[in-house]
Every structure is written in structure tokens, then in C-alpha cells.
A and B are shown apart, each in its own frame.
Chain A
């Protein structure tokens, strides 16, 4: 009997011990897993934090890396000034100011996003130790971008004194070939001009308009309205027709064509090519709001993007409750909709790329000072935002814009182009508008995709298209 008691007691104790052992082993294994996972996934982000004292240590050991263009032209490098102090030099001055960024007053652009590599060195340990023994600094890793100096300079010259932004990508990969935002600044002098630049809130020259500028999309939005109409009427959209008398009225609300132009009897194709507001307002009130909202989500509105740099989310409001007036406004790209040149470029790139939206990226690879590749970035797809067939139909429509519509300045050239213009009114009373163009070339085998916005210039066809043309010429001729 006594022995039974002891036996029971022993089993009970053993259970309690095993139970507590399992609990603590489980707790500690999770803790260890967490430490490993956290440090493996956060080490770059944490090193980039300005509160991290480690940055200073690395600066004293390594010379900040160089940022190169795709052909190894230097975009940013660290050199010694006359006093023997390290300074950051930007040989192209203003031209790459937003995309490359600066390091003086906080960090921006590539200087910020790839800071981890620019301050760490992946040279072999022996070389690092040799340098340390000689009390020399080690060159940190270099960043090789996808940026094309020729294109960037072309764009910069083409924009001239206008405010606006241009983003040029390769549709099949998402490589950013050029990215310009105006007004700009000279990153070499950022510390001395800082006060003035910050005080001048009107020009906000520090803002990278191509990724963070939110604009009304104007008629470029007709790409989205057209796509939705095609999705809802796949068999019959070709039969659409509308008699345009220069305006469209629904429930007492009126939408007019740009400068009151009367387009007469227009088909679906012609409405798009001539950018007829009245016809698209008519289409707008016919669209199924729920399905439209879904399409717009797929088109990356109100969605986080997978890009590695800073950007703003484009926003649009379409739901069951949207009024017919708002639907008319939205369908022609006015109203509350706000879009970044970046997102419009991604969608245009997807049309050129069989419906696959690629993630735009600006850094191709990280190399050591001896050109050993440390890390290379492969093209990645954001998502398939439309079918190949839909992409082909939209390409066809956009080709007509160039051949016989508002983008005619691009017709009759050695290459074929497709695109959509826009004149986004931002000041209804004065009729001021931003000039938009988004498109790609050559149509048969798209190599380059360009999105242009010029603030307050006027019509897209007159102001934005010529800039796109210069980019196409520079790249394709």
C-alpha cells in the first residue's frame, strides 16, 4: 500500500516536472527563434536608424561607397577636399538630385535606401585587416544603378524650367532608366542651401514628384475607364457609339470636353483616341460601381506597392454610394482621384508587358570596390493586373491615340509608339491644367515606357508628348 502511494507520488511529480520542462523549453526555443529571425530580418533597417551609434563606427573604418550609373559613370562618390576631409561629391549636380539623394541633412534617395551597403564593406577579411593594420580606411561597397545618364540628361533638358516629373522604365523588367523631378537642387551644396530650400514651400524642391507627387490623372485615367467598360461589355464594346455635342449632362450635372470641342459621332475607339470627355462621362455613369472598384484595386489604386524607395499611395474613391456626378468626374480622371507618376508608369508598363506589372527598381547590384558582386537584384513582378488579351486591346487603343488622336506628335516616326495623353484640370475656374503623357515604344516589342507630367503647362498633347518623343528618340534611334 505504502509502495503504491510512493509510486503514484513519483508519477505525479514526474508529470509536473516534464510539463514545466516542456513549457520552458518551448518558451526558450521560441525566444531563440525570435532572436535569430529578428536579427536576420531587421539588421539593415536597424543599422540605418539614425539613433544607431554603429553608423559612426563604420564611417570611421570605411569610406562610403560610390553610386554608379548603368555604365559606371559616377553619380555620387566620397572624395577628400583641400583640407583632407571627406566630402560627398555629386558630379552631375542637380540632374540626379532626387533619385540619388544626399547625405548631408539626413539621408534621402539611394543614399538612404542603400545606406547599409554604402557603409559596410564586403571585401575579404584579410584585406580589411591589412588596411586596419596600416590604419587606412577600407572602401565600402558600391551601388550600381539601372540609371542611364544619356536618358536622364535628355529628360532633364527637355523638362527645362517646367515643374513636373518624368519616369522612364523598361517594361519587361521594371528597371528605372531615368527619373527626374523638377524643381531640383544641387546635392553638393545641400548643407549651405538647406534653409532656403526648406523655407521655399511653394516649389518644394526636395519632393521627388515622380514617386511622391499626387496629381489628378486627367484623361490618362480613361485607360482605366476603358478597361472597365471592356471588362463589362467584352462582346459589344466595339459597337458603342455616342453623339458628342461638346458636353454631357446627367441628373442636372454637366461635363464638358476639353476647350468645349464637339467631337460629333464617336465610336469607343475614337472616344479614347480623341479623349472625348462627354463620351467617357456617358460611359462612367453606365459602369458597375462594385466591379469598377475591384478593377481599380487591381490597378494598384489604394494599394501598397513593393518598391524599395519612398512613395505615396495613389487614391481613388469608388463604391456603391458614389453619386452619378462623381462617377462622371472619376471616369474622365477629375474629381477626388490622385495618382503618382510611378503608379501610372507601372500600369502602362503592364500594358506593354502582357498585363504583368513589374516592380520598378533603381539598383541593379551591389559590388565590392573590386567589382565582386555582393548582391544583385532580379526583376520581380508586382502582379498580373490584367489579362494578355486586355493588354493587347488597350495597346491597340493607345496606338490609335498616337496615329489619329491627341498623341499625333509621335506618329510617322522610325518607331511605333502607343500612349495616352491627359490634361488634368486642377483649377476649374481658370482652366489651368497639368500636361500628362504615358506610353511606350516600340509597340511590337516595347523597350521603354515613359510617364510625363508637367505642372500647369496646358494640354498633354502639346507639352507632354514632345518630351516623351525626345526620350524615345534618344533611346531608340
Chain B
């Protein structure tokens, strides 16, 4: 019986996930949120069904009620978040919130399966962050001076990254984090957002060469500190975000070409200078020859990806724990092994739909600072997804970044939640702008009608007088 439930849940999870993903793209067929409402509601249903089937399978197989309790709490929090956002911000974009919850939920399933302690820890972080994140759209709306704080952003970014470089603790040869009172912080996650604000602030003033160079030198400082900390994944993200934003602000392809060229030169240089870069590249080109050492992680990840098949082995049926750092850098491999290739490709598509929504929002904003922010955050998000998934499947060399919202890691989850909330805030600003414009337009219209009416009346009166 247990085995039957496990097998059936496997197929149900895939089907629910596929429907959810399909709905993600159906959204783009309609231009207004009202028309999308039905889709969003269906998405919520399939989200809960997906998670429910997964936790049922976990619970039945282990006979441990802990999973059901966890599922209950998790669903309450996700459901509450969706409701709260809708109540507080009726003009908000629900796709972003739905996807945010779906990705968190997928993370919870996998973390609960891998380690309940970590799942609970992650859950608590999400609960606390969510309270904070709910306020962000409000703050964004209230304080329009966010664009003027560029020097504060620069200072915050450089100081916290520099702090890690000098005070941080080493993890696998990279300085990523520091601890205060037993809590570990990884500032580069949050600095990514601050960095986008910084560049947006500078470039929205003007996009002449001076501003571009100013932004560029600040970006260079960030990237250099990260390179010195050996956090090459984050360094690459900052680099790409800067050039993408300059390209967006100026609309000139030559900046992308410059970025690509200098990126290539920097990569070659990094390959020459740093042995750990050489090791990574070697492990990417032929992990099988170094399967005992540098290639171990990636080959174990490939084993996981290839053993699941279309529908996966079923939860608890694989061996994802043989991959070192599976909860953070390799969660995608674990998902593919146990939930199947269809599921993990759907996961990729969900991430992609987030990105498309982000830049879509950016397109319709009127204020350039907001446009740049939305665009920059979108690039930052999707590029990180590409680095982690591409690295885990040997599509590109491994850089060791997390899969936003799915991977285990407090700083990463908090930062991504903030990112989603900022975009949500921008969307709300745009909606309200549009409503205001529409109202102004209608007032003007009414005024025009009224004035023409008065004119007519006056004429009539005039005529009557004659």
C-alpha cells in the first residue's frame, strides 16, 4: 500500500506541477490582472495539491507525522502570505507572489526530505522574513527618495563585502560569510539588491559617459572585493548586472559587446592567476578523470540527474545525500532525481516566467529609476538561476551559488524574498500610476465636456437674449 501511494504521488506531483507551470505562461495572454484572476486561483489550488501529494508520500513512507505537521504549518504560512499580499495590496501582481510561494514550497519539500532540522530552520527564517517583506511595497510607495541614496548604497555594499573579506570565515577556500552570535550572514546576497539600487540611482540621473564610468568604477570595486574573497559566482553576477543595466539605460549594444569582451578577458586572466579557477574548469571539462577529488560533486550530481527519468524515483527513493552540499548548491539535482525531469524542467520554466514578468513590469513603468531597478533585479535573479542549474548539470563550470528560494540558506532566502517584494512594490507603483493617470484623464475629459456644455449653454443663453 505504501509503495502504491509513493508511486501514485510521483505521477500526481508531476501532473500538478505541469499544470501550474502551464498557467504561469497562460497569464501572459491577458493584459490586465482582472482577467488573470481565474488563473491565479487555479495556480493556488495546484500549488497546494503539489505540496500535499509530496508530503503525503513522505509521511506515509516514513510513518512520521512530523511531515504532516510541517506541511500544515508551511501551507498556512504560504497561504497567509498570498492572502496578506492581496489584502494589503489589492493592485499587486499575483503571479510573482504565487511563484514565490511555489518555489519556497518546492524548497520545503526537498529540505524536509533531506533534513527536517534544516527544513524547520528555513521555515522559521521564511516566517520572519515574510513579515518584513510584506512592508516593502508600502515603503517603496512612501519613500520616493530611494533613488537619491546612492552613496549610502555604495557605502553599505563596499563595507559589508569588505567586512567579509577581512573578518569573514573560510568555507571551502572562499570567504562568503561571517557570524554574529551564532547566526551566519552572507552579505553578498543582500548587497546584490543594494547594488541594483545603486546602479539604478546613478544611471537614472543621466546616462552620459561620466555617469556610466562612475557606476562602472563602483561596480568594479564590488567585483574586485568579491574576487579577492574568492566568491566568483557572485562577482560574475555583479559584473553581468552592471553591463545589462548600462545596456538597458542607453539601449546601445556596444555596451553589451564591451561587457562580453572584458568578461572574456577577465575570465582568461582569472584562469591564469587562480588555481581554484583552473580546478573548476578542469572539473567541468572532464569530471570523470578527477572523480575522486574535484570532480566528485559534479559527477554525483550528474548521477542524480540521470537516474530519475521523466517522473523521478519518488521521494525518499534516491540517494541525493551522496552529493556534497546538496541542500544549497545542488538542490536541483536532488529534485531531478526524486521528482523527475519533467518536474525540474517545469521548475526552470517557473523561474523563467518570473523573469519575464519582472522585465515586463519594468517595460511598463514610467520612472527610469524604477525601470532600471526592476530590470536589474530581473537579470540578477535569472542569471543566478542559470549559474546554479547550469553548473549543476555540467552545462557551464560550477560557480557555487544557490537556487533562489529553493536552496537552503537564510541570507539567500531573505534576499530573494526582498527582491520579489521590491518588484511587487514597483508593480503596485505602476498600477497606481496608471489608475491616477486614468483618473486624471477622466477628470480632464469631464472638465472638457463640462466646459463645452457651459459654452453651449452660454451660446443658448446668448441666443435667447437676442
Which A residues are closer than 8 A to B by beta carbons? Answer: 12-17, 19-21, 24-25, 27-28, 30-32, 34-36, 38-39, 42-43, 46-47, 49, 51-54, 57, 125, 128-129, 132-133
Given A16-B251, A36-B345, A43-B306, also A133-B352 (CB < 8 A): no
Report how far A52 CA is from B341 CA in the complex, Å: 19
For A20, list chain B residues within 8 Å (CB): 244, 247-248, 359, 375, 379
The answer to whether A125 and B7 touch across the interface, beta carbons within 8 angstroms, is: yes
Which are the 10 A-B pairs with shortest beta-carbon distances?
Answer: A12-B251, A53-B319, A129-B3, A43-B306, A132-B3, A16-B248, A46-B306, A52-B303, A39-B306, A53-B322
Chain A residues with CB below 8 A from B318, complex form: 54, 57
9 example contacts (A-B, Cβ-Cβ < 8 A) are as follows A16-B247, A24-B352, A34-B395, A35-B336, A35-B341, A38-B302, A42-B306, A53-B322, A133-B2
CB of A35 within 8 A of CB of B363, answer no
B316 CB to nearest A CB, Å: 11
Distance between Cα atoms of A78 and B386 in the complex (Å): 46
Q: Is B352 touching A17 in the complex (CB atoms < 8 A)?
A: no
Which residues of chain A are within 8 angstroms of B363 by Cβ–Cβ distance?
13-14, 17
Question: Is there contact, CB below 8 Å, between A31 and B348?
Answer: yes
B299: Cβ under 8 A from any A Cβ: yes
Q: Determine the distance from Cα of A35 to Cα of B360 in the docked complex, in whole angstroms.
A: 28
Within 8 A of A (CB), among B344-397: 344-345, 348-349, 352, 355-356, 359-360, 362-363, 371, 375, 379, 382, 386, 389-390, 393-395
In the complex, A45 Cα to B375 Cα: how many Å? 42
Closest to A49 in B: B303
Q: Is the CB of A17 within 8 A of B362?
A: yes
> Nearest residue in B to A58 (C-beta to C-beta)?
B307
Given contacts A17-B359, A54-B319, A129-B4, is CB(A35)–CB(B251) below 8 Å? no
With a CB–CB cut-off of 8 A, which chain B residues contact A30? 395
Assembly CA distance A25 to B344 (angstroms) = 16
B259 contacts chain A at the CB level, 8 A cutoff: no
Please tell me if B180 contacts chain A, counting CB pairs below 8 Å. no
What residues of chain B lie closer than 8 Å to A43, measured between beta carbons?
Answer: 306-307, 309
Judging by beta carbons under 8 Å apart, are A15 and B251 in contact? yes
B93 within 8 A of A: no
In the bound complex, residues from chain B placing their C-beta under 8 Å from that of A31 are 348, 386, 389-390, 393, 395
Within 8 A of A (CB), among B294-348: 296, 299-300, 302-303, 305-309, 317-319, 322, 336, 341, 344-345, 348
In the complex the two chains form, what is the Cα distance from A133 to B359 in whole Å?
Answer: 51
B237: min CB distance to chain A, Å: 14
CB distance from A107 to the nearest CB of B (A): 17
B393 pairs with A13, CB closer than 8 A: no
Contact partner of A35 (CB less than 8 A), chosen from B244, B303, B344, B362, is: B344
| A39-B3 Cα distance, complex, nearest whole Å | 25
Collect the chain B residues with CB atoms within 8 Å of residue A47's CB. 303, 306-307
Indicate whether B291 reaches chain A with its CB closer than 8 angstroms. yes
**For B309, what are the chain A residues with a Cβ–Cβ distance below 8 Å?**
39, 43
Contact A54 B307 (CB under 8 A): yes
Q: How far is the CB of A122 from chain B (nearest CB, A)?
A: 13
A17-B359, A21-B359, A133-B2 known; A51-B299 Cβ under 8 A: yes
Binary contact readout B1-18 vs A (1 if CB under 8 angstroms, 0 otherwise): 111100100000000000
Residues from chain B with Cβ under 8 Å of A28 in the complex: 348-349, 352, 386
Using Cβ atoms and an 8 Å threshold, which residues of chain A touch B382?
A: 24
Using CB atoms, name the residue of chain A closest to B368: A9
**Contact A51/B395 with A13-B363, A31-B386 known, Cβ cut-off 8 Å:** no
Given contact pairs A24-B355, A34-B395, a sample of 15 additional A-B residue pairs in the complex whose CB atoms are under 8 Å apart: A16-B251, A19-B253, A20-B244, A24-B386, A28-B352, A31-B348, A32-B349, A35-B305, A39-B306, A39-B309, A43-B307, A46-B302, A46-B307, A47-B306, A57-B318
B-to-A contact residues, CB < 8 Å: 1-4, 7, 244, 247-248, 251, 253, 291, 296, 299-300, 302-303, 305-309, 317-319, 322, 336, 341, 344-345, 348-349, 352, 355-356, 359-360, 362-363, 371, 375, 379, 382, 386, 389-390, 393-395
Verify B307–A52 contact, CB threshold 8 A: yes
Output the nearest chain A residue to B359 by Cβ-Cβ distance.
A17
Contact assessment for B303 and A51 in the assembled complex, using a CB-CB cutoff below 8 Å = yes
Quick one: closest A residue to B375, CB to CB?
A: A17
Task: Establish whether residues B362 and A38, one from each chain, have CB atoms under 8 Å apart when the complex forms.
Answer: no
- Contact across chains for B371 and A13 when beta carbons are under 8 A apart: yes
Contact A38 B306 (CB under 8 A): yes
CB pair B300 A51 closer than 8 Å: yes
State the Cβ distance, A131 to closest chain B Cβ, in Å.
Answer: 9
C-alpha spacing A42/B393, complex, angstroms: 12
For the complex, what is the distance from the CA of A84 to the CA of B190, rounded to whole Å?
59
Q: Which residues of A contact B322 (CB under 8 A)?
A: 53
Most buried by B among A12, A15, A21: A21
Contact A38 B305, beta carbon cutoff 8 Å: yes
Q: How far is the CA of A31 from the CA of B251 in the complex (A)?
A: 27
CB distance from A422 to the nearest CB of B (A): 39
Instruction: Give the distance in Å from the alpha carbon of A46 to the alpha carbon of B299 in the complex.
Output: 9
Complex CA distance for A32 and B341, rounded to whole angstroms? 9
Contact B251 A25 (CB under 8 A): no
Q: In the complex, what residue of chain B is closest to A54 when comparing beta carbons?
A: B307
CA distance A129 to B318 in the complex (A): 16
* Chain A: CB-nearest residue to B365: A13
The distance in angstroms between the C-alpha atoms of A52 and B318, with both chains bound, is: 11
Using Cβ atoms and an 8 Å threshold, which residues of chain B touch A133? 1-4
Chain B nearest Cβ from A207, distance in angstroms: 24
A79 → B minimal CB distance (Å):
26
Q: Which residue of B lies closest to A132 (CB)?
A: B3
A44 to chain B, nearest CB (A): 9
Most buried by A among B4, B306, B308, B371: B306
Q: Which residue from chain B places its CB closest to the CB of A30 in the assembled complex?
A: B395
Q: Which residues of A contact B291 (CB under 8 A)?
A: 49, 51
Q: Which of A13, A19, A21, A129 has the most CB of B within 10 A?
A: A13
Give the CA-CA distance A46 to B356 in the complex, in Å: 35
Contacts of A49 in B (CB 8 A): 291, 299, 303
Q: Which chain B residue has the least Cβ–Cβ distance from A8?
A: B251
Is the beta-carbon distance between A13 and B319 smaller than 8 angstroms?
Answer: no
Most B C-beta atoms less than 10 A away, residue of A17, A24, A32, A35:
A35
Contact A13 B341 (CB under 8 A): no
Name which residue of chain A comes closest to B360, CB basis.
Answer: A17
A27 to B359 alpha-carbon distance, docked (Å): 16
Bound form: Cα–Cα A35–B317 in Å: 21
CA gap between A263 and B1 in the complex, in Å: 83
Contacts of A16 in B (CB 8 A): 247-248, 251, 375
Nearest B residue (CB) for A47:
B307
Interface pair A35/B393, CB less than 8 Å apart = yes
How far is A14 from B7 in the complex, measured between Cα atoms in Å?
A: 46
Query: CA A36 – CA B309 in complex, angstroms?
Result: 9
- Chain B residues contacting A19 (CB-CB under 8 Å) are 247, 253
- The complex places the Cα of A42 from the Cα of B348 at a distance, in Å, of 21
Across-interface contacts of B4 in A (CB, < 8 A): 129, 133
What residue in chain B is nearest A128 (Cβ atoms)? B3
In contact, A129 and B348 (Cβ under 8 angstroms):
no
Q: Which residue of A lies closest to B355 (CB)?
A: A24
A133 to B352, CA, bound (A): 41
Residue of A nearest to B5 (CB): A129
* Bound-complex Cα distance A51 to B393 (A): 17
Q: Give CA–CA (A38, B303) in the complex, Å.
A: 11
Q: How far is the CA of A133 from the CA of B344 in the complex (A)?
A: 29
Nearest Cβ on chain B to A36's Cβ, whole angstroms: 6
Closest residue of chain A to B389 (Cβ to Cβ) is: A31
